[in-house]
Homo-oligomer: A and B are copies of this chain.
Amino acid sequence: MKITLSFEKTQTKDTSIMVDALRASTTITLALNNFNEIIPCFTPEEAFELKKEINGIIAGERSGKRVEGFDVGNSPKDVENYDTDIETLILTTSNGTRILKDMDSTVLVGSMVNAKAVGYKSVEIAENEIDVVMAGYKGNFALEDFLAAGEILYWICDRLNNECEISDYAKAAIMASRDYDALKEGFYNCNSGRKLSRLKSKKDIDCCVLKNISENVAIYENNILKLIKD
């Protein structure tokens, strides 16, 4: 099995894991406790248009702030706990949803909260290649995505008993993510973390940095995110 790490664009047509650790990937993963399906939209306008057609809750942010007129922001816990019987979530975020649309591989969604689950699941479904793709922030490297990717890559290698061909960049991410106390500090002190703290969304970081608290693995098919079937 070939294991790689990429930025923004995937390098495989086999299996990719999209990582936007603060916050889209975590929100998608935990939202599946509350909704049956998530439709990612790439603009707020698209989300509003879609809401006219289907019965859905709109969640999302732009530059870290809830979009005016949306039902809920992009806080993982707020979305997970949003009180509703509606089963469809319409989600728009800055980077994560934008990254999804360009992939023509099998796409899973990974974060710290489901790192082990998504790593193991990717090994089950991949033919011979898994590429972990960091969303980044506005076209720039984002530390939190690198660290969450490292944690996911660690579990991929674990599942394969380290019998895989792993790229130098993927190895680097695994090495950077081994010390969990340092990783947590990284989540709070990286560019995105400091921005969220300024926006008084520090509680979202508290949630996004939790390791392996969810077995949910979202798969992206036909423009919809759903729990992957066993």
Contact = CB atoms under 8 A, between A and B. Distances in A.
Interface string A163-201: 000011101110111110011001001110000000000
Interface stretch (A30-38, A137-145, A204-212): A137-145
Contacts of A172: 141, 143, 146-147, 172-173, 176, 186
A169 B141 contact: yes
Identical copies in the complex = 2
A142 B179 CA distance: 22
Contact of A191 (B143, B168, B173, B179): B168
B168 A190 contact: yes
Contacts of A189: 171
A176 B167 CA distance: 15
Main secondary structure of the interface of A (DSSP, over half): helix
Nearest to A190: B168
A6 to B, nearest CB: 11
26 contacts: A140-B168, A141-B167, A141-B168, A141-B172, A142-B168, A143-B169, A146-B168, A146-B172, A147-B172, A168-B190, A168-B191, A171-B186, A171-B189, A171-B190, A172-B172, A172-B173, A172-B176, A173-B176, A175-B175, A175-B176, A175-B177, A175-B182, A175-B186, A178-B179, A178-B182, A179-B179
